[in-house]
Structure 1
Amino acid sequence: MTTVEVARDGVALLYCAIILLVLSWIVFSIRVGVRMWRKAWGMDDYFMLVGTILFSVTAALCIVCCHYGSGQFARELPTVTISKGTKLFYIAEYFYAVSAMFVKISVAVALLRIAVGRRFFTWALWALIGATMVAALVFCIGIANICDLFYSAIEITADFSLSIMPAILLWNVQMKGAVKASVAVMLALASFASCATIVRLKYLTLYSDPGEFMYSTGKIGFWSLTEVGIGLIAGSLPPLRPLLSLRIRVSAGSNTPAASGGQAYQSGINNRQPTSRSRVIAMDTFQTLGDNDEADNSDGDSQKNIIKETKFTVTSVIAGGPRDPGPMAWDRKEGSNV
């Protein structure tokens, strides 16, 4: 039996892998459902699908590594366990690099939709895509300290660029407060993923001691999974916006007293007394930004509570019908004087 009990930094790595694996699949599954519902499946969804699958493999390998001494000192582990754990973590690093590449390309492709007609941002996004692919390729060709540092530098640049660019692209776009809040949340998550990359870069110095490689995998694996997992979740949140276009109907009981006068006449026509009030609450508070969404006919925050809309219902009565009031009163009066 070469496996050992999970301990030290391996505990944090184990729970991080499980939590991010579950959350990423929940968010991505909802994303797939929304895209199918709106018939708006695009290339960014394909890239995110590949990234999610590869991230799942990375997380699974890290979970296994935890049982092979990840995050523990060499003196606490059998030699056979260290050998197997080292091999598994090297394989996990390959999947980590490629999954991060696909997640970042997915976000960049989604931003290309917004950057249509803005040549500078379009070229900048394509440059980021190219740099991310080159970094992943170099990382996979030879995993060494210099390559790892090169890859982390490219990832940090890409993360910060992709987190800041949405704010620049949408700076002059009139948006509701809820839209601005959603963009802020997405940027916060993306920035956190960037911080995870920086923290991971700090712990790469642990690789300088080959004898304690399994100990270094605890912290490095934790921040690697955090970087990709948070990036994946942040990249899948904007496509969930159409969920807020759903409407819910709220009904409340009414103790309205019996109608009188005109109300009684109307009640007689309808042959029933209203017993409840219902109103439809629109959950969509987002301005349309594309993706084949239905147009939002609101006037935006600047005109909120200013324009009042009143609806009238006109009912026509067919002559001779069951509700025809018959000849007018003045016609009947004329007939009686003849």
Structure 2
Amino acid sequence: MVQGRSEAIIIVTAAVLALSTLAVSLRCYTRLYIVRAFGWDDKTMLTAIALNIAFCICTFVGATYGIGQKNAWFLERPNNLHIALFSWWLGQIFYILTCVVAKTSIALTLLRITVVRTHAIILYIATTFNIIVGLLFFFFTIFQCKPIDFFWHRMTEHGSCLDPDILIGIAYLYTVVAAVNDFTIGLLPIFMIWNLQMRPRTKFSLAVILGLGMVAGAAVIIRIPFLPNYKDKEFLYATWQISIWSNVEANLGIAAGSMSTIRPLIRKLHSTSFIARIRQRTGTFQLPSRIRKSHRGGGGVYSPTSNNMYRSPTTVPADQVLEQQNPSEESLGR
């Protein structure tokens, strides 16, 4: 029976996995059926969620077999130790790949709406550093022991592993680069939309939505104090916080990167419910003055139940009116 730290790992991982999966599903629906602009950033995010699911499976299996438990717990379950260590090793590989691919997807999303060359260069530089350092951490994680399987067979086989301080140093380097990348991607949208012709309230909401990537950066920073636990003798117990925050970082990064793309879906749902409420309550829709002036024959009120003598010369569906009121926002959601 799973208990203690292991249970906490499973609960937190399941919660954030559900959030990220829902966010990616909404993203795909929005891009495929609403804006009809499924791009490379969406394909990259699908790759990220697939890698993330593999990472979470490793976490579930590892926690079930002993991640989060002290060494004494394995005395009665010696076979569990190999599975727990292997799950940790494999999970870290999927974690690195998930984060690198997810951050790349977010950068590609911003590149779709970037019009200033300087902003594009910043995104390219941040993404390049993220990929390079991520691959460095990736290969160090795989080949930290010789032979490779000595990592999870260290109790029964002969071999050697890198000095834990070396791996911790690489982990610190990756953490710093990942945090800088997240905050760069999170703050850059403020400068990207600063000079756009739109209401301040709309600018603020777009900056917040596009800057959700900083949420993952916060999880990276929170994980820093626990990195020295890599060299603790009670390895699987001492690193349970690293396991939790790694899952939080990966899943929130995916969720934040996907939530920034579903604004057209939210607007469509809001418009649909708004129109339905109007029709249920009054059966009429007053055309805005600037819309009425654009149609020949003046304005007025259209009522589907009124007599012809009271009907306006211009009849415009309400959902068409709302689309005309927001001509530029659709492009921002693509």
Determine if the TM-score, normalized by the shorter chain, exceeds 0.5.
Answer: yes
Q: CA deviation at 1:197?
A: 0.3
**Counterpart in 2 of 1:51?**
48
The 3 A distance-change label for structure 1 pair 229 and 254 is closer
**Counterpart in 1 of 2:207?**
183
Contact 2:2 2:63 in 1 (8 A): yes
**Counterpart in 2 of 1:61?**
58
Contact 2:215 2:256 in 1 (8 A): no
Give the partner amino acid of 1:93. Q
- The one-character-per-residue Cα deviations of 1:40-74 (angstroms, maximum 9, x if unpaired) are 01111111110011011101110111111111221
Structure (1 or 2) with the greater helix fraction: 2
Give the whole-Å Cα distance in 1 for the aligned partners of 2:82 and 2:45.
33
Work out whether 1:231 is the aligned partner of 2:240: no
- The one-character-per-residue Cα deviations of 1:9-65 (angstroms, maximum 9, x if unpaired) are 222211111112222111111111111112201111111110011011101110111
Give the TM-score normalised by the residue count of structure 1. 0.72
**Counterpart in 1 of 2:5?**
9
Give the whole-Å Cα distance in 2 for the aligned partners of 1:185 and 1:86.
38
**Counterpart in 1 of 2:177?**
154
**Counterpart in 2 of 1:120?**
118
**Counterpart in 2 of 1:219?**
241
Work out whether 1:91 is the aligned partner of 2:90: yes
Give the whole-Å Cα distance in 1 for the aligned partners of 2:51 and 2:282.
55
Give the partner amino acid of 1:130. T
Contact 2:69 2:236 in 1 (8 A): yes
**Counterpart in 2 of 1:260?**
none
Contact 1:175 1:286 in 2 (8 A): no
Give the whole-Å Cα distance in 1 for the aligned partners of 2:266 and 2:3.
43
SS in 2 for 1:142: helix
Give the whole-Å Cα distance in 2 for the aligned partners of 1:268 and 1:154.
68
- 1:103-142 maps to which residues of 2 (within 5 A)? 103-116=102-115, 118-142=116-140
Q: CA deviation at 1:285?
A: 6.9
Give the whole-Å Cα distance in 2 for the aligned partners of 1:282 and 1:68.
55
How many residues are matched?
Answer: 271
Give the whole-Å Cα distance in 1 for the aligned partners of 2:308 and 2:172.
80
Give the whole-Å Cα distance in 1 for the aligned partners of 2:183 and 2:32.
30
Instruction: Give the RMSD, CA atoms, in angstroms.
Output: 2.8
Give the whole-Å Cα distance in 2 for the aligned partners of 1:54 and 1:20.
14
Give the whole-Å Cα distance in 1 for the aligned partners of 2:113 and 2:171.
32
**Counterpart in 1 of 2:194?**
171
Q: CA deviation at 1:136?
A: 1.6
The 3 A distance-change label for structure 1 pair 287 and 8 is farther
Give the whole-Å Cα distance in 2 for the aligned partners of 1:269 and 1:137.
71
Contact 2:113 2:332 in 1 (8 A): no
The 3 A distance-change label for structure 1 pair 286 and 63 is farther
Give the whole-Å Cα distance in 2 for the aligned partners of 1:159 and 1:87.
29
Contact 2:209 2:260 in 1 (8 A): no
Q: CA deviation at 1:92?
A: 0.3
Point out where structure 2 has 5 or more consecutive residues left out of the alignment: 142-166, 284-304, 311-316
SS in 2 for 1:239: coil
**Counterpart in 2 of 1:70?**
67
SS in 2 for 1:77: helix
* Dislocated runs of 4+, deviation >4 Å: 266-271, 278-287
The 3 A distance-change label for structure 1 pair 122 and 11 is same
- The one-character-per-residue Cα deviations of 1:262-304 (angstroms, maximum 9, x if unpaired) are xxxx977579xxxxxx9769498795273686xxxxxxxxxxx
**Counterpart in 1 of 2:331?**
290
Work out whether 1:193 is the aligned partner of 2:216: yes
The 3 A distance-change label for structure 1 pair 253 and 39 is closer
Give the whole-Å Cα distance in 2 for the aligned partners of 1:57 and 1:63.
10
Point out where structure 1 has 5 or more consecutive residues left out of the alignment: 256-265, 272-277, 294-338
Give the partner amino acid of 1:121. H
Give the whole-Å Cα distance in 1 for the aligned partners of 2:306 and 2:252.
58
Q: Which moved more, 1:278-287 or 1:14-23?
A: 278-287
